[in-house]
């Protein structure tokens, strides 16, 4: 079975439920050598602590082994190798590939050129699906269910890939959401479609104070300094939100505080002792979640968790305007010139199209 995890849109509601169930089993029972003899390759072209280490710990706990790099300067990228060539080569060394890369859509390129399962561990400002699985696992584990929960996504919703992945999944699992960001850091509309269609978007506001009392969970994020084109734009918005004990006084007594980490200054240290602060536990749950995902992708789970790759009708199949290219300067198709442009119909009237790599509407 060929299957990759590039975007959370790839996961059906049933698959999400089965993955979370399997993650709970991994947390309870451990990896039981399910992936003995399997090799994970971790290709990290961008900094990471939690994501890379938790993938590696997960594979070791499953009884498998790990190869990879954490500093692209030591890889053949430094000699000018394309992503496609790297993918075709690593495919012959490993059984499963995890990639983090600064360009949006880069994980799809690796998945297209490799035969082995590929997991997106963050592609620029686009997606970070395994962080989302960790986030919703944390919510389900600590709240029982996501049905009816009110979740606030707060901070850099423009460049933060974790919230791009998370918003549609929260909506799918029955939660409702507030987007809390200044207008300059608002969520791109592409990532709110699912929530809007399900009537799950409660509102968008710049004021955390205004909505904090309604929230069952608050998901704080860091301003993504490295994705700003101009340093002065970052300087203007940094420090917009700082969660303090004072601000928490207006929150529910059982409101969970999540954060994908790393934190910069958006959660004051004084909050760490509050029993609602669960961000370090959340990071810990990432191991069980990634164990479940890799066991499922490698076909080592006792039962079917993921279905075969769904067929998506794209313009590639129809040979649609080869001359049209995605206009997003951070899209992988702008840098890797051998890639054939590919677009997906977004539906709606009038019909619109989004890039199959970075998902931005064109």
Q: Which residues bind ligand NCD (CB under 6 A)?
A: 50-51, 122, 128, 131, 161-162, 222, 260-261
Nearer to ligand NCD, 116 or 222 (CB): 222
Q: Is 147 left (phi over 0), alpha (psi -120 to 50) or beta?
A: beta
Q: 165-180: b or e for each residue (b if 16 or more CB lie within 10 Å)?
A: bbbbbbbbbebbbbbb
CA 351, 191, 292, 357 torsion-angle sign: positive
The rounded distance, in Å, linking the Cα atoms of 121 and 115 is 18
Q: How far is the CB of 161 from ligand NCD (least distance, A)?
A: 5
8 A C-beta contact, residue 35 and residue 295: yes
Nearer to ligand NCD, 162 or 334 (CB): 162
Q: How far is the CB of 223 from ligand NCD (least distance, A)?
A: 9
Q: How far is the CB of 110 from ligand NCD (least distance, A)?
A: 17
The rounded distance, in Å, linking the Cα atoms of 289 and 103 is 25
Nearer to ligand NCD, 59 or 339 (CB): 59
Nearer to ligand NCD, 140 or 161 (CB): 161
Closest CA to 314 of 341, 290, 286: 341
Q: How far is the CB of 48 from ligand NCD (least distance, A)?
A: 6
Q: What is the DSSP string of 219-243?
A: EE----GGG-SSHHHHHHHTTS--B
Q: How far is the CB of 343 from ligand NCD (least distance, A)?
A: 26
Provide the β-strand partners of residue 119: 5, 98
Q: How far is the CB of 135 from ligand NCD (least distance, A)?
A: 10
The rounded distance, in Å, linking the Cα atoms of 179 and 356 is 25
Nearer to ligand NCD, 219 or 343 (CB): 219
Nearer to ligand NCD, 168 or 341 (CB): 168
């Amino acid at each position: 079975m060929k299957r990759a995890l590039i975007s959370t849109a790839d996961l059906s509601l049933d698959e999400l439920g089965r993955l979370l169930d399997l993650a709970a089993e991994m947390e309870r029972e451990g990896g039981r050598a399910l992936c003995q003899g399997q090799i994970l390759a971790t290709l990290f072209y961008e900094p990471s602590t939690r994501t890379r280490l938790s993938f590696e710990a997960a594979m070791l706990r499953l009884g498998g082994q790990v190869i990879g790099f954490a500093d692209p300067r030591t890889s053949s990228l430094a000699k000018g190798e394309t992503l496609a060539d790297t993918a075709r080569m690593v495919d012959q060394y490993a059984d499963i590939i995890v990639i983090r890369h600064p360009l949006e859509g880069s994980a799809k390129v690796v998945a297209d050129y490799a035969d082995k399962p590929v997991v997106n561990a963050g592609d620029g400002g686009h997606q970070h699906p395994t962080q989302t699985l960790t986030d919703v696992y944390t919510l389900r584990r600590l709240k029982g269910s996501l049905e009816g929960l009110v979740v606030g996504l707060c901070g850099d919703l423009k460049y933060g890939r974790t919230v791009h992945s998370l918003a549609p999944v929260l909506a799918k699992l029955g939660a409702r959401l507030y987007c809390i960001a200044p207008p300059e850091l608002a969520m791109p509309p592409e990532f709110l479609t699912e929530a809007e269609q399900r009537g799950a978007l409660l509102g968008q506001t710049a004021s955390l104070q205004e909505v904090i009392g309604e929230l069952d969970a608050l998901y704080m994020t860091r301003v993504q300094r490295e994705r700003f084109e101009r340093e002065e734009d970052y300087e203007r918005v940094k420090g917009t939100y700082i969660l303090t004990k004072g601000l928490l006084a207006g929150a529910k007594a059982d409101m969970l505080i999540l954060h994908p980490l790393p934190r910069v200054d958006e959660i004051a240290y004084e909050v760490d002792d509050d029993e609602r602060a669960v961000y370090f536990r959340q990071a810990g749950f990432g191991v069980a979640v990634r164990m479940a995902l890799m066991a499922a992708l490698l076909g080592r789970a006792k039962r079917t968790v993921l279905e075969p790759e769904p067929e998506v009708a794209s313009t590639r199949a129809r040979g649609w305007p080869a001359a049209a290219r995605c206009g997003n300067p951070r899209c992988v198709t702008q840098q890797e010139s051998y890639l054939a442009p590919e677009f997906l119909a977004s539906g709606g009237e009038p019909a619109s199209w989004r890039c199959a790599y970075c998902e931005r509407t064109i």
